[in-house]
């Protein structure tokens, strides 16, 4: 019964990952076209990053589990799958693999309190260390993937601020498909697909800054859970304690990441001291100039600009050359330039609040 239940979860999780990536991409493009009359980025960059990065990470995790001689019961693996799938279904509220830290304690509690035979697990001391090792490896992979393979494709949303100026917030959703191979107590290998990644919204900074904290949080969380796995391995009779502490670590990581999302210097709002850039189109002169969402264009071709119309006129004054004086979100001012372009600011690759009208 347990094996059949686990097998039925494999296909849906993989299909859920593929359907989820397609859905969020469709929703992002639909939102951008409705808001700005154009899609900011139509590439499949997020998909390929999630697929290639996830498969490479899975190879490392699976090898690590094999070298550590980790053997996990079907019921424990089912909880990993169920919690991961539930978290992904709620990705619109935010997402991270922190919930996997609850899998071990959930498997123990379900076997103890729910009268269903397919939830039964061996004594916790036989599998707790392996369960914690799996969590630690996934957390470490999360940190590494967010550091190396988290393309900066952010979804801007515009709303009216309290003082009349419009405010932009940014959402990023990057998922990684982890097709793991895990050994059962019988010695057989089973396929355990998981979904990792991040879904977050920021209002006072770009998601890239928040994800830097996420990377540190998951790296530290993975190291702590790895220590708990060593404790459970050395003292199997006390394994329930490391499982409970692991759940607490997962919750702390989730709260820390949520706190990081809310941090920032100031709201990314419309301003009269220049022209705020809401987004940058990829593979355009603006992106090659290193411009970022949230930048304020103070001068264009040495002409002060205070509106999108003024920016357009300044750009047309020298239709074969563009030199910008830009202020970053952190207040730093830099000069950037490019040669030969034609058209309005958005054709240069800059999206301003005016495109929202």
Q: Domains along the chain?
A: 2-262 (no CATH), 272-356 (2.30.42.10)
Distance separating alpha carbons of residues 238 and 256, to the nearest angstrom = 28
Give just the sign of the alpha carbon dihedral 196, 293, 295, 272.
negative
Which residues are bridge partners to 157 per DSSP? 169
Residue partners of 310: CB distance under 8 A and separation at least 6: 275, 303, 304
Mean pLDDT within 112-139? 87
Mean pLDDT within 212-241? 96
Other residues' Cβ atoms within 10 Å of the Cβ of residue 139: 29
Total-model pTM: 0.89
Distance separating alpha carbons of residues 345 and 285, to the nearest angstrom = 10
Confidence class for position 10, pLDDT limits 50, 70, 90: low
Residue partners of 130: CB distance under 8 A and separation at least 6: 65, 68, 70, 71, 72, 229
What's residue 266's pLDDT? 81
CA-angle at 56, arms to 52 and 62, nearest 5°: 140
Mean model confidence pLDDT for the chain: 88
Other residues' Cβ atoms within 10 Å of the Cβ of residue 114: 10
| Token code pair at residue 147 | 């550091």
Mean pLDDT within 173-191? 90
Element (H, E) at 78: helix 74-89
What's residue 342's pLDDT? 56
| Token code pair at residue 182 | 């895990």
- End-to-end C-alpha distance for the chain, whole angstroms: 58
Mean pLDDT within 88-94? 89
Residue 8, pLDDT > 50, answer no
What's residue 5's pLDDT? 45
User: Percentage of the chain with pLDDT > 70?
Assistant: 91
Cβ-in-10-Å burial (0-12, 13-18, 19+) of 303 comes to: middle
pLDDT digit string, tens, across residues 156-166: 998 887 766 78
Confidence class for position 186, pLDDT limits 50, 70, 90: confident
Output the CA torsion 251→253→256→258 (10° steps).
Answer: -70
What's residue 11's pLDDT? 63
Nearest to 336 by CA among 346, 326, 321, 349: 326
Q: Write phi, then psi, for 123 (nearest 5 degrees).
A: -55, 140
Nearest to 136 by CA among 82, 188, 61, 186: 61
pLDDT digit string, tens, across residues 307-353: 888 888 888 877 677 889 999 888 888 888 877 555 555 568 888 88
What's residue 244's pLDDT? 96
DSSP string, 290-347: T--TT-EEEEETTEE--SHHHHHHHHHHSTTEEEEEEE-TTS-EEEEEEE---S-HHH
Distance separating alpha carbons of residues 10 and 13, to the nearest angstrom = 6
Which of these ranges, 65-79, 98-112, 305-319, has the smallest mean pLDDT? Answer: 305-319
What's residue 111's pLDDT? 82
Residue 6, pLDDT > 60, answer no
């Amino acid at each position: 019964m347990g094996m059949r239940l686990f097998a039925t979860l494999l296909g849906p999780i993989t299909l859920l990952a593929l359907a989820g990536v397609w859905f969020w991409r469709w929703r992002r493009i639909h939102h951008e076209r409705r808001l700005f009359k154009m899609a900011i980025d139509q590439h499949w960059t997020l998909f390929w990053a999630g697929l290639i990065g996830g498969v490479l990470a899975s190879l490392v995790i699976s090898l690590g589990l094999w070298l550590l001689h980790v053997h996990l019961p079907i019921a424990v693996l089912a909880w990993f799958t169920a919690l991961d799938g539930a978290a992904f279904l709620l990705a619109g509220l935010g997402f991270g693999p922190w919930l996997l830290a609850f899998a071990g304690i959930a498997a123990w509690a379900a076997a103890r309190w729910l009268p269903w035979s397919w939830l039964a697990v061996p004594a916790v001391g036989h599998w707790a260390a392996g369960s914690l090792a799996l969590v630690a490896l996934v957390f470490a992979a999360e940190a590494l993937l967010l550091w190396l393979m988290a393309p900066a494709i952010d979804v801007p949303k515009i709303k009216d601020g309290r003082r009349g100026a419009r405010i932009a917030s940014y959402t990023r959703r990057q998922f990684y498909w982890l097709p793991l191979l895990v050994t059962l107590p019988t010695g057989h290998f089973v396929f355990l697909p998981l979904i990792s990644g991040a879904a977050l919204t920021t209002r006072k900074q770009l998601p890239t800054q928040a994800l830097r904290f996420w990377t540190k949080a998951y790296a530290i969380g993975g190291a702590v859970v790895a220590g708990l796995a060593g404790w459970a391995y050395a003292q199997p009779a006390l394994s329930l304690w490391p499982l409970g502490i692991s759940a607490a670590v997962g919750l702390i990581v989730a709260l820390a990441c949520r706190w990081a999302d809310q941090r920032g210097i100031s709201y990314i709002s419309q301003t009269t001291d220049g022209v705020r850039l809401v987004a940058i189109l990829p593979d355009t002169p603006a992106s090659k100039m290193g411009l970022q969402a949230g930048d304020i264009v103070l001068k264009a071709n040495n002409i002060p600009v205070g509106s999108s119309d003024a920016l357009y006129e300044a750009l047309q004054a020298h239709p074969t050359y563009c030199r910008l004086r830009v202020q970053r979100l952190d207040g730093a001012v830099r000069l950037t330039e490019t040669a030969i372009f034609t058209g309005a600011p958005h054709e240069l690759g800059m999206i301003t609040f005016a495109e929202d009208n």
